[in-house]
Amino acid sequence: MDVVEKPEENRFELSLDGGTALVAYQRDGNRLVLLHTEVPSEFSGQGIGSRLAKGVLDQIRASGRKAVIRCPFLKEWIARHPEYDDIVDG
């Protein structure tokens, strides 16, 4: 299962067996302001948040956009993954 952007809903989604993990965002020109990450509680501790974060950031990089990180989970995740520093803006 892959992370899919749903621009009409301003979010990225990862379909799970029995739920959906998501990252909500707002557009700001060529930047996406990442506001909130949500993983269903029954999937907690299974690495879903990390899979979602990597998929979101890989798509942002591939599209030539930048990410503004407002979500506490993503801030912590990116601090442990400096390979994404090139797309973080602010």
Q: Where are the domains of the chain?
A: 3-87
This prediction's pTM: 0.94
**Is the distance from CB of 24 to CB of 33 less than 8 angstroms?**
no
The whole-number pLDDT of residue 1 equals 65
Q: Residue 65 in 3-state DSSP?
A: coil
Confidence of residue 90 (pLDDT cuts 50, 70, 90): confident
Confidence of residue 38 (pLDDT cuts 50, 70, 90): very high
Percent residues over pLDDT 90 in the chain: 97
The CATH superfamily of 3-87 is: Gcn5-related N-acetyltransferase (GNAT) (3.40.630.30)
The whole-number pLDDT of residue 85 equals 95
Average pLDDT estimate for 34-48: 96
